[in-house]
A and B are shown apart, each in its own frame.
Chain A
């Protein structure tokens, strides 16, 4: 298996622009997670899905952030409009039971 796939790996954008991060989970996994990692705040869970349904989005920082999972093999995390404080590494992870498998992350820089 190719593992969890994330794209793009790096994204540089200007403040105010829309950013879309993409994730393809491991085939057969039924849960998908979006995390954000910064030096200041560490690793934060933003939202997770079970069987394509959002279960807990309490970690989503504000309305500028939205996530979708239209099918079992694809998810997006959108930031609109982006701000410099959104700069971070965003990870996607998937699981079948309790152990999660992480993608390589998307490094987002908002200038």
Chain B
């Protein structure tokens, strides 16, 4: 069965410092993987998507994620945090190879202090 585990429920960083949000996945095949972001009182927005074309995926707002099959990880990073990055981030995997339903991780809340 497909699953994702977000290793931190809350991450706090200072503005201008790097961001690392960790995600491990479990899959019986090489899956697509996503990161979504949810700002306070907003809907979820697709941040980036991995589809096996390249292991390093660049997304919006300077975020990127690296797919590491040997570690079954898909960590989200950003070199320099901005106050506007404060939000909840979800690591996501499709429910099955053929289906369209998604399985969401429990989310990581990113706090950014000045």
Q: Which residues of A contact B (CB under 8 A)?
A: 4, 31, 33, 42-43, 45, 48, 50, 55-56, 91, 93, 95, 97-105
Contacts and interface: CB of A to CB of B under 8 A. Distances in A.
Contacts of A101: 46
Contact of A33 (B36, B42, B101): B101
The secondary-structure label for the interface of chain A is strand
A104 B44 CA distance: 8
B43 A103 contact: yes
Interface in B89-104: 90, 94, 99-102, 104
Contact of A98 (B45, B90, B94, B107): B94
19 contacts: A33-B101, A42-B106, A43-B44, A45-B102, A97-B100, A98-B32, A98-B94, A98-B100, A98-B102, A99-B34, A99-B49, A100-B46, A100-B102, A102-B36, A102-B43, A102-B44, A104-B42, A105-B42, A105-B43
Contact of A42 (B42, B99, B104): B104
Contacts of B101: 33, 45, 48, 55-56
Interface of B: 32, 34, 36, 42-46, 49, 90, 94, 99-102, 104, 106-107
B100 A43 contact: no
A65 to B, nearest CB: 17
Given A48-B101, A98-B102, A43 B42 contact: no
Most buried by B among A33, A43, A103: A43
A79 B100 CA distance: 25
A48 B100 contact: yes
Contacts of B94: 98
Given A33-B101, A100-B102, 12 more contacts: A42-B104, A42-B107, A43-B44, A43-B104, A48-B101, A91-B44, A95-B100, A97-B100, A99-B34, A99-B49, A102-B36, A105-B43
Most buried by A among B94, B99, B100, B107: B100
